[in-house]
Amino acid sequence: MKKLRLFTCLAIGAAFFFSSCEKEEVEAPGTNYVAFSGQAIDLEVEISGSSTQNVSLYSSNVAGNDRTYNVEVMSASTIDQTYITVPSTVTIPAGSNKGDLAVSINDYAGLDGEPVTLVLNVTEPNGDGSSIGEPATINVFRECLENRLFYYTVFDDYPEEVYWRIVDLNAGVIVASNNSSPAFGGYAGRTGFTNLPICLSDGDYRLQVFDQYGDGAGEIYLLDGNKSTLYYSDGDYGAGFDFDFSL
């Protein structure tokens, strides 16, 4: 069985996991273009508490008056909106091309596991003809008080064939995996990619990846809390691999 490889424009660095390879269309001279930064934001929510994230809205022009835009929580958001506080408007002050929006999120059980998303955009209420850019995406997950890792993988056409786990070599137990029991199928029906935050104590660990048909799958990155790469595979790993590491 031959699989279609997915290639990404992933750039691992001081910024968050990835940046877009697409460019915005150039607006006509004089058009007021407003947009968020275009880069996804990570927000770790304090355990049993709340955390606040400033989100900046930028304008292509500087005006002599305040400009206020309505804020909308988009339907693409996966976060439970019961636990969020989002102002209804954001203002770009006179003489500036940037306005800040403070978003607060309370901790809840749904922040364990894969990040949930809060997707925001703006509309202009006064009909000033502004052109609105892409929404802002905040990836939300619970804070880690020990060692933060991220398991990032791109799904190929057969994601159900992959099972992975991280084993604590000292305790002999599974501390992270893509399925509640050691079995294939955990990613059945998934597309795109996943980026799972993991929190581990100091110790010795083994990342194990298995492919049911022995022909590999999508790219894999194991990242530390600074987004530095601990391990990378281009997906050409056959039936699987082991990678040992210590924290």
Per-residue pLDDT of the chain (247 residues), as tens digits, is 434 443 333 333 333 343 444 444 444 455 688 999 878 999 999 999 999 999 999 999 999 999 999 999 999 999 999 999 999 999 999 999 999 999 999 999 999 889 999 999 998 876 667 788 999 999 999 999 999 999 999 999 999 999 999 999 999 999 999 988 888 998 999 999 899 999 999 999 999 999 999 999 999 999 999 989 999 999 999 999 999 999 9
- For the chain, what percentages of helix, strand and coil (3-state, to nearest 5) are there? 5, 45, 50
Judge if 179 and 229 occupy the same domain. Answer: yes
Residue 127: the pLDDT is 64
Residue 27 resides in a domain: no
Residue 126: the pLDDT is 65
Judge if 120 and 151 occupy the same domain. Answer: no
Residue 24 resides in a domain: no
Last residue of a domain, one of 90, 116, 142: 142
Among candidate residues 227, 172, 181, the one with its CA nearest the CA of residue 203: 172
Residue 52 resides in a domain: yes
Residue with tokens 């281009």: 234
Residue 181: the pLDDT is 80
Residue 11 resides in a domain: no
Residue 245: the pLDDT is 97
pTM of the prediction?
A: 0.78
103-139 confidence digits (pLDDT tens): 999 999 999 889 999 999 998 876 667 788 999 999 9
Residue 1 resides in a domain: no
Judge if 61 and 40 occupy the same domain. Answer: yes
Judge if 169 and 133 occupy the same domain. Answer: no
Judge if 137 and 197 occupy the same domain. Answer: no
Q: Give the CATH number, domain containing residue 235.
A: 2.60.60
Domain span at 102: 33-142
Judge if 114 and 177 occupy the same domain. Answer: no
Residue 167 resides in a domain: yes
Q: Which residues contact 23 (CB under 8 A, 6 or more apart)?
A: none
Last residue of a domain, one of 142, 165, 189: 142
Task: Return d(Cα 149, Cα 31) in angstroms, integer.
Answer: 43
Residue 30: the pLDDT is 59
Among candidate residues 101, 104, 97, 31, the one with its CA nearest the CA of residue 64: 97
How many structural domains comprise the chain?
A: 2
Last residue of a domain, one of 92, 114, 142: 142
Judge if 121 and 214 occupy the same domain. Answer: no
Judge if 151 and 137 occupy the same domain. Answer: no
Judge if 75 and 118 occupy the same domain. Answer: yes
Residue 15: the pLDDT is 38
Judge if 129 and 174 occupy the same domain. Answer: no
Judge if 80 and 168 occupy the same domain. Answer: no
Among candidate residues 65, 116, 66, the one with its CA nearest the CA of residue 91: 66
Residue 211 resides in a domain: yes
Judge if 62 and 77 occupy the same domain. Answer: yes
Q: Give the CATH number, domain containing residue 100.
A: 2.60.40.1740
